[in-house]
Structure 1
Amino acid sequence: MIMKSKLGLPSTILFVFGLVYYIAVLFGNDHFLLAGVILSTLGFILALFAEKGIYKKIGLVGNGIILFITIVIPFIVTTFFWNEP
Structure 2
Amino acid sequence: MKRILGTLSTVLFFVGLVFYIIMLFGNDNLLLSNVILSAIGFVLALFAEKGVYKKIGLIGNGLILLIAIIIPFIVTTFFWNTP
* TM-superposed deviation, 1:17: 0.4
- Answering whether residue 1 of structure 2 is matched by residue 17 of structure 1, we say no
CA-to-partner distance for each residue in 1:27-76, whole Å, 9 max, x for gaps?
A: 01001100111000000000000010000000000000000000000000
* TM-superposed deviation, 1:4: 1.7
Q: TM-score, normalised by structure 2?
A: 0.97
Given candidates 67, 70, 75, the residue that maps to 1:69 is 67
Given candidates 40, 43, 49, the residue that maps to 1:42 is 40
CA distance in 2, matches of 1:6, 1:36: 21
Structure 1 residue runs of 4 or more that deviate by more than 6 Å after TM superposition? none
Percent of counterpart pairs with the same letter? 71
Given candidates 28, 52, 57, the residue that maps to 1:59 is 57
**Gaps spanning 5+ residues in structure 2: where?**
none
**Gaps spanning 5+ residues in structure 1: where?**
none
Q: TM-score, normalised by structure 1?
A: 0.95
